Structure 1
Amino acid sequence: MSEHVTRSGVFSRRSFLRAALGTATLTLAGCSGAGAPTAESGARDRVTVYDEAAPDELEVLMVGDVLVHSGVWESGERPDGTRNYDHLFARVADDVAAADVALVGQETILGGVDLGLSGYPMFNSPQEIGDAEAAAGFDVALCASNHAVDKGMAGIESELAFWRSAHPDMVVAGIADSEGAAATIPMVERAGHRIAVLNYTYGTNGIPLPQPWAVRMLDEAAITADAAAARDAGAEAIVACPHWGIEYAAAPSDDQRRWAQVLADAGADVIIGGHPHVMQPFEVIESADGRAVPVFWSVGNFTSTQTRKDTMVGAMARATLVFEDGGCAVSACRLTPLVTHCAPGTAFTTYRLRDYTEELAAANQVRTRGAQTDFSFQWCVDFCSERLGEAFDASSCELVWEA
């Protein structure tokens, strides 16, 4: 029997349940690509879990863009000058912890206070946001976005230094502070299976890259090379997370469709997109080698203070990966709509749509910030039904697809 330890410093519900059931939990590679991590001393004890046979399926979860406007980071400011953002993720933390691999779209750079906190249009966010993401159970921070160089190379270096020092087990995709780091494929290992996470952006708002390798850009040659390198490194599955599309568009653009085909043909097993700030439909496309590749065109925002009511409805994407003979197939997908609840202080959070209410909707500040007085729980349900089509079940507030 093999012996493994849990993620350093995180003993989540996911870890606890696996320990109780006697299934193995493997550590995942940190963003520095260093050797095998060990459990941190202090608040939590080292936990050893044994397993006779690795499971043949794993669930990958992703939530959309953490778009840290000033109203978002102000929600976690405390009278003593400290900051805490656990409230932003509290309503979905059980889903995050239950997933085998959980990804979060960290759209704005976590440069921290030394670089000066700022909101739209040139963002720089508090690093305590990252603390809350790690505490909620996220495993991968997706950082390739149009705001990745809002603070230049200094912002990228500061964010990566933060992750390495505070949460070394967090895999950080899409940005790099050295050519060597950029050449490393972001990889998660769970129960003996290796999953590559490829994260790209369409652009950086016209700001030149400080180094050509600082932000992973959508590029056909790079995608093909990355997918091949991932397979060479032992990846059985590839999850592609492009930052793409047209803001507020209800459907994918021709450009999104073109890049989706490139990603699928390169070997992506599932594609989960962000950037348009709104939820877009779910679809399954065919790769050049005949595989069915699910595409979540956009999971929208996870949190923001944007003033359009459609930006309040994002989504949680989930894909079940089945492993066999060294390969992977996606057996099922779920799309669970989420609602950003803009409210004062720690009442600012994101709910699953099925947990939202008319009373909460009536108090959502989007009604006054954007004069969106018709925003309601029923409006959110109707919006999801229209956007997702017949596959969306309004009673369960979920879309389910099975291969």
Structure 2
Amino acid sequence: MYVSRSETHQQVKKRKGRRMRRLLALNLTMLAIIGVLVVVWFVMGDNPAAPPGHANNGINAEGSKSPPGDEEGDTAHEPPSRTEDGNSAQNEPEQKPEQKPDPDPAPDSRPSPEPDPDKPSGVDPGTPGKDKDDKASGGSDQGDNGSGGVIPDPPVTGETIRLSFVGDILLAASVDKLMQAKGYDFPYVKALPFLKEPDLTAGNLETPITERGIPAADKKFVFKGSPKSLPALKEAGFDVISLANNHTLDQGVEGLLDTIGYLDEIGLPNMGGGSDDKEAFQPVILEAKGIKVAYVGVSRVLPVTEWKATKNRAGVAESYDSTQAKATIRSAKEQADLVIVMVHWGIERADNPDKNQKQLARDYIDAGADLVIGSHPHVLQGFEQYKGKWISYSLGNFIFNKTKLPKTDDTGVLDAVCTKEGSCSLKFNPMRAVSSQPAPLVGDEAKTLLAHLSKISLNASVDSEGNVRAKE
């Protein structure tokens, strides 16, 4: 059939009109659906136009969830060319010990209390007793409403690391005899939960470990430990050991180098001593939870000048002058997130730090240290905060020979929960050594020891749970 051009044009126009109406209807339908979805999204989802401070689904404006043995004395300045260890001359009156050492052993009849795994208020350091299989290789304290004058530290937020510290560890003399009779793990048995659970645990080894060597001359107390004692030390949970003290060279350079060699054999990092000053000052850098921690070991207690490590002589990293220690700290700060200084210093049996301890601690912190941990006095000394960084002046004896002075048995494990930025919260877990075996204190005994620590602390307090906090 013939169809004219005009008829064909009209038919085409009609078809186009019908098609346009269908497209228009379809577009309107789609727009309506989109409009409904937008309304639903605004009602049910996060509203980016919400006013500041408005929370949606528990998220605040910042995007975070809404809060729900007796031994040596100190040398006052440079170590003399030769002195009797334990009877060094004191040129500064304020550095004289308050009580003279009494080296005679005495039987110990104290009962061993059971562990009390209390946790610090506001900071959870972990549950004592957890095995430390995942330990790494290679703060905040809530105020005590009843104490007054206490400044709560800012709460620790983000990823944290739990670092633990103990004082002097002697693996010789009467302690060695105990270990031979009862097993090399005997000293650690009752403190194990507090040593194994933290991310990193450190202590000061006050014993050369060697089967040879020449005993130091003109020294009252000379120690020598067996290599057999070291595996138990590592298995107890220790991750790093300082050798910067006044006994590391009791068996001469041979003893020092043997000690380093035996520690290296079992894979226990150490610092503070070496074949020269570069090695002695070299920090140990460990990592846990993505946080790098540098440990620096130095000593301000040496019996003779010849114990100092130099460019051409093996020895100990010394800190009678803080220059080299500060350079080491600054360098370590460039390599690690946290810098810990473990320092041997102070006066034996003294409850309070001397002026050298206070000045050195400040020097270290000014150089970049985040935490300063002291040893050598053989008794506990208090805490102090300087520029937001904590100083523990002495953690006393941890494993040592028995003495007639009861307070040398008082000890403990210090926990520091630290952020990557260097903010730390401290908790002291009180213990008492019975037959050279530290055991946690509970009840009134724990409170009494913690109250003593609080009393001797400088501008800081220690509450009944062991939490350390700054005062006004």
TM-score, scaled to structure 1: 0.71
Kindly provide the amino acid, as one letter, of the partner of residue 315 in structure 1. Answer: G
Paired residue for 2:370?
A: 269
2:344 equivalent to 1:243: yes
Map 1:161-310 to 2 at 5 A: 161-165=261-265, 167-168=266-267, 170-178=268-276, 181-182=279-280, 184-206=282-304, 208-209=306-307, 211-212=309-310, 214-218=315-319, 219-232=321-334, 234-286=335-387, 292-304=388-400, 305-310=402-407
Kindly provide the amino acid, as one letter, of the partner of residue 98 in structure 1. Answer: E
Kindly provide the amino acid, as one letter, of the partner of residue 77 in structure 1. Answer: Q
Of 311, 315, 321 in structure 1, the residue corresponding to residue 412 of structure 2 is 315
CA contact 2:185–2:236 (8 Å) conserved in 1: yes
CA contact 2:396–2:410 (8 Å) conserved in 1: yes
Deviation at 1:15, TM superposition (A): 4.3
Question: Higher strand fraction: Structure 1 or Structure 2?
Answer: 1
Kindly provide the amino acid, as one letter, of the partner of residue 292 in structure 2. Answer: R
CA contact 1:197–1:238 (8 Å) conserved in 2: yes
Higher RCO, 1 vs 2 (CA within 8 Å, ≥6 residues apart): 2
Of 171-180 and 238-247, more deviation after overlay is shown by 171-180
Distance 1:280 1:15, change over 3 A: closer
- Which has the higher Rg, Structure 1 or Structure 2? 2
Of 317, 337, 342 in structure 1, the residue corresponding to residue 430 of structure 2 is 337
Q: Percent identity over the alignment? A: 21
Paired residue for 2:168?
A: 65
Kindly provide the amino acid, as one letter, of the partner of residue 270 in structure 2. Answer: V
Counterpart-to-counterpart distance in 2, 1:26 and 1:210? 31
CA contact 1:278–1:310 (8 Å) conserved in 2: yes
2:463 equivalent to 1:399: no
Counterpart-to-counterpart distance in 1, 2:416 and 2:399? 22
Kindly provide the amino acid, as one letter, of the partner of residue 392 in structure 1. Answer: V
Kindly provide the CA deviation profile for residues 264-304 of structure 1, in whole angstroms up to 9, marking residues without a partner as x: 10111011111100001111112xxxxx1111110000022
- Structure 2 residue runs without a partner (length 5+): 1-128, 139-157
- Structure 1 residue runs without a partner (length 5+): 1-11, 19-24, 29-54, 287-291, 343-347, 356-376
TM-score, scaled to structure 2: 0.61
CA contact 1:331–1:402 (8 Å) conserved in 2: no
CA contact 1:160–1:177 (8 Å) conserved in 2: no
Q: How many residues are paired up?
A: 313
CA contact 1:171–1:187 (8 Å) conserved in 2: no
Of 204, 229, 244 in structure 2, the residue corresponding to residue 144 of structure 1 is 244
Kindly provide the CA deviation profile for residues 73-101 of structure 1, in whole angstroms up to 9, marking residues without a partner as x: 100114xxxx8421101111111111111
Counterpart-to-counterpart distance in 1, 2:348 and 2:244? 16
